[in-house]
């Protein structure tokens, strides 16, 4: 009797079927693969691409063949599923699941802001592949406002008026970018600074909004100061030139944008013919060059006096002349321009007192020649006994006005002394704090001693020890007229 051996493949006919549909990003997903043939029960495993599937938030149930979870990564997920039957027979099948992200969106329209008022506005990004990164694709934020790149929030306390004039960009984690233009309305912001006869001048208004290019700068009402002209420089409307006549000019300027908008701004510029010195102290940080807007004045820095950003300036981050050692001061060789006689006079500056004031701290002054002793004063603005003080010398009498309260430390303040006819007026940050009278028509004393910032002079090149200004000075101006006779708003940056 013969025997026949028959081998039976109990895994024969093993198959794996099922459709894995696409899914929206962050949607809940469930789809089942079904095995048949072979010998049940079946076990399902991922033999390739398991890490990518898990990273996307999807998992395979080994007993049921169900893939489920919340799809957290956009893109096409490729993987291989193996089904194994009871006998150990198996088959592999490749699959893909496409996770579709809804199109990235960005929305928002930031409102206008108010100078000095805390501001916050958040743009909204949706869909795409979070997290998002926000940035400016064009334009810039005003001083005082910043953009949080993680949240899309614009916040801070602005120092200049305005409305949005930028293009915001959001980038998702798939590096998809989307821009939002938030600068629909064309506007002009700012005021042109006052100017001085015969001195080179340049002052800008900011152009915000609309489409580039900006064009057609023009005057629509009134006339510009003689010697000045308009131009567009980037996103600025610039008034520049050299004024030739003393006057007050009232006028309206306008510009156009590439999307056919027009913006206009009413301006008033005083061209002053009475300024005998204007020191801005706004050169590059570390500079030892000091140039007067009035070309006849030649100033010399002593003791390595330099421009510094250590205390900023009255309007925020910036520079000023730093008087941080007893030998540091600024002197100008005496010239006849400063023979003021009995004219009205205004001496003004912004100052920062960084430390306790000495018995007398000089800001700006001129002495009368008196070798070997403390000089009589032609004029001197400073602090006496820690209080703001001003002195005019009309031989043989000195007239002094002193503020009643101590001078503030650690803040920028505008100071001014004014001769107005018979009276001497003293102002601290626009407020009249002291007066004296009796000058009559007497002329100020005059001698050949240098004019100095930051120190009191005894004779040329010899200073009075210990009388320096302990801090910084910005924008000093001397004018042969009474600019201020009552409380006023301190002037802006020139």
Query: What is residue 184's predicted lDDT score, i.e. its pLDDT?
Result: 67
Contact 368, 447 (CB under 8 A): yes
- In this prediction, residue 449 has a pLDDT band, given cuts at 50, 70 and 90, of low
Which one, of 190, 191, 230, 186, lies nearest residue 208 by Cα? 186
Domains 15-100 and 275-479 fall in the same CATH topology: no
Contact 189, 205 (CB under 8 A): yes
Residue 308: its pLDDT value, please?
A: 94
370 — pLDDT class (breaks 50, 70, 90): very low
What pLDDT does 72 receive? 82
Residue 139 above 90 pLDDT?
no
Instruction: Give the percent of the chain with pLDDT over 70.
Output: 91
- CA-CA-CA-CA torsion for 464, 470, 471, 472, nearest 10 degrees? -20
What's the pLDDT tens digit per position in 66-92? 999 988 887 889 999 999 999 999 999
Mean pLDDT, range 382-395, rounded to an integer: 90
In this prediction, residue 1 has a pLDDT band, given cuts at 50, 70 and 90, of very low
Spatial distance between the Cα atoms of 52 and 128, rounded to a whole number of angstroms: 19
Per-residue pLDDT tens over the stretch 110-131: 887 888 899 999 999 988 778 8
Residue 81 is predicted with a pLDDT of 95
Burial class (CB in 10 A: 0-12, 13-18, 19+), 260: exposed
Residues facing 427 on adjacent strands: 416, 432
Q: What is the 3-state secondary structure (H, E, C) of 196-230?
A: ECCCCEEEEEEEECCCCCCEEEEEEEECCCCCEEE
Per the CB < 8 A criterion, the answer to whether 126 and 51 are in contact is no
20/30 Cα distance (integer angstroms): 9
- Cβ contact 248:197 at 8 Å: no
> So what's the pLDDT on residue 10?
47
- CA-to-CA distance for 284 and 101, rounded, in angstroms? 51
**Geometric angle at alpha carbon 484, from 223 and 379, rounded to 5°:** 120
What 3-state class would DSSP assign to 378?
strand
List of residues 6+ apart from 232 with CB closer than 8 A: 207, 214, 215, 217, 238, 255
Q: Dihedral sign, CA of 380, 381, 385, 388?
A: positive
* pLDDT(460) > 60: no
Q: How confident is the model at residue 3 (pLDDT cuts 50, 70, 90)?
A: low
pLDDT at residue 457 in the model: 62
When the pLDDT of each residue in the chain is averaged and rounded to a whole number, the result is 86
pLDDT at 177 exceeding the cut of 90 = no
Return the pLDDT at 114: 84
Q: Is 114 exposed, middle or buried (0-12, 13-18, 19+ CB in 10 A)?
A: exposed
Our measurement of the distance from residue 226's CA atom to the centroid of its chain's CA atoms, rounded to an integer in Å, reads 32
The reply to whether CATH 3.30.1130.10 applies to domain 15-100 is no
User: Is residue 8 packed enough to be buried (19+ CB in 10 Å), middle (13-18) or exposed (0-12)?
Assistant: exposed
Give the Cα separation of 477 and 470 in Å (integer).
Answer: 20
Query: How many Å apart are CA 171 and CA 129, to the nearest integer?
Result: 9
Torsion of CA 417, 420, 424, 429, to 10 degrees: -30
Query: What is the model's pLDDT at position 185?
Result: 74
Question: Is 46 within 8 Å of 92 (Cβ atoms)?
Answer: no
Rounded distance between C-alpha atoms, residue 63 and residue 71, angstroms: 21
Length of the chain: 494
403 CB neighbour count, 10 Å cutoff: 21
- Report the CATH fold assignment for 275-479: Jelly Rolls (2.60.120)
Closest CA to 64 of 32, 24, 96: 32
**Contact present, 476 and 277 (Cβ < 8 Å):** yes
pLDDT bucket at 473, cuts 50 / 70 / 90: very high
- Range with lowest mean pLDDT among 94-98, 190-194, 455-459: 455-459
Domain extents for the chain? 15-100, 105-182, 188-272, 275-479
Higher pLDDT, 474 or 392: 474
State in words which class domain 105-182 has: mainly beta
> Which H or E run contains 55?
helix 50-55
Which has the higher per-residue pLDDT, 446 or 176?
A: 176
- Residue 172 in this model has a pLDDT that exceeds 90: no
| pLDDT over 70 (residue 372) | no
Interatomic CA distance for residues 268 and 449, integer angstroms: 38
Q: Exposed, middle or buried, 304 (CB in 10 Å: 0-12/13-18/19+)?
A: exposed
Average pLDDT over residues 357-373: 72
Q: What is the number of alpha carbons within 13 Å of residue 139 lying toward its C-beta?
A: 27
Span 332-341, mean pLDDT?
76
Q: What is the pLDDT of residues 267-276, one digit of tens each?
A: 999 888 888 8
Whether 324 shows a pLDDT value over 90: the answer reads no
User: Cβ contacts of residue 24 below 8 Å, gap of 6+?
Assistant: 71, 99, 100, 101, 102
The closest of 228, 229, 163 to 198, measured between CA atoms, is 228
CA distances from 236 to 5, 105, 376, 393 (A): 98, 32, 48, 46
Lowest-confidence region among 144-158, 208-222, 360-374: 360-374
Task: Let me know if domain 188-272 sits in CATH 2.40.100.10.
Answer: no
Beta strands in 281-428 (DSSP E): 299-302, 306-308, 320-323, 329-332, 345-353, 360-367, 377-384, 387-394, 397-402, 412-420, 423-428
pTM > 0.85: no
């Amino acid at each position: 009797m013969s025997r026949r051996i028959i081998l039976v493949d109990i895994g024969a006919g093993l198959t794996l079927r099922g459709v894995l549909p696409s899914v929206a990003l962050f949607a809940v997903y469930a789809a089942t693969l079904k095995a048949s043939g072979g010998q049940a029960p079946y076990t399902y495993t991922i033999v390739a691409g398991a890490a990518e599937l898990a990273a996307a938030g999807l998992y395979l149930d080994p007993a049921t063949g169900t893939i489920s979870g919340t799809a957290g990564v956009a893109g096409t997920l490729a993987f291989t599923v193996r089904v194994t039957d009871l006998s150990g027979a198996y088959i592999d099948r490749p699959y893909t699941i496409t996770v579709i992200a809804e199109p990235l969106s960005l929305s928002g329209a930031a409102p206008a802001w108010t100078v000095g008022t805390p501001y916050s506005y958040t743009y909204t990004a949706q869909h795409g592949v979070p997290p998002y990164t926000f940035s400016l694709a064009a334009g810039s934020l005003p001083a005082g406002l910043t953009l949080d790149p993680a949240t899309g929030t614009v916040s801070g306390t602005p120092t200049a008026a305005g409305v949005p004039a930028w293009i915001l960009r959001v980038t998702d984690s798939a590096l998809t970018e989307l821009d939002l233009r938030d600068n629909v309305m064309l506007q002009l912001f700012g005021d042109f600074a006052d100017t001085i006869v015969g001195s080179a001048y340049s002052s800008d208004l900011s152009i915000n909004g609309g489409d580039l290019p900006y064009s057609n700068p023009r005057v629509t009402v009134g006339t510009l100061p003689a010697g000045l002209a308009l131009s567009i420089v980037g996103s600025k409307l610039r008034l520049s030139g050299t004024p030739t006549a003393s006057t007050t000019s009232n006028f309206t300027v306008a510009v156009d944008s590439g999307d056919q908008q027009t913006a206009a701004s009413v301006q008033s510029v005083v061209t002053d013919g009475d300024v005998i010195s204007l020191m801005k102290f706004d050169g590059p940080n570390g500079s030892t060059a000091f140039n007067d807007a009035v070309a006849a004045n030649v100033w010399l820095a002593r003791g390595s006096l330099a421009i510094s950003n250590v205390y900023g300036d009255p309007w925020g981050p910036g520079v000023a002349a730093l008087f941080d050692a007893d030998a540091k001061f600024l002197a100008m060789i005496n010239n006849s321009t400063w023979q003021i006689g009995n004219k009205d006079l205004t001496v003004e500056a912004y100052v920062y007192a960084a430390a306790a004031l000495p018995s007398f701290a000089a800001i700006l002054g001129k002495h009368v020649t008196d070798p070997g002793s403390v000089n009589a004063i032609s004029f001197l603005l400073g602090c006496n006994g820690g209080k703001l003080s001003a002195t005019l010398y009309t031989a043989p009498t000195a007239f002094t006005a002193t503020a009643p309260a101590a001078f503030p430390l650690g803040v920028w303040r505008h100071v001014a002394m004014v001769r107005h006819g018979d009276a001497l007026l003293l102002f601290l940050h626009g407020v009249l704090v002291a007066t004296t009278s009796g000058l009559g028509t007497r002329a100020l004393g005059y001698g050949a001693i240098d004019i100095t910032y930051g120190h009191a002079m005894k004779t040329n090149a010899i200073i009075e020890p210990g009388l320096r200004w302990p801090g910084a000075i910005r924008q000093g101006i001397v004018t042969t007229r009474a600019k201020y006779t009552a409380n006023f708003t301190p002037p802006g940056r020139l």
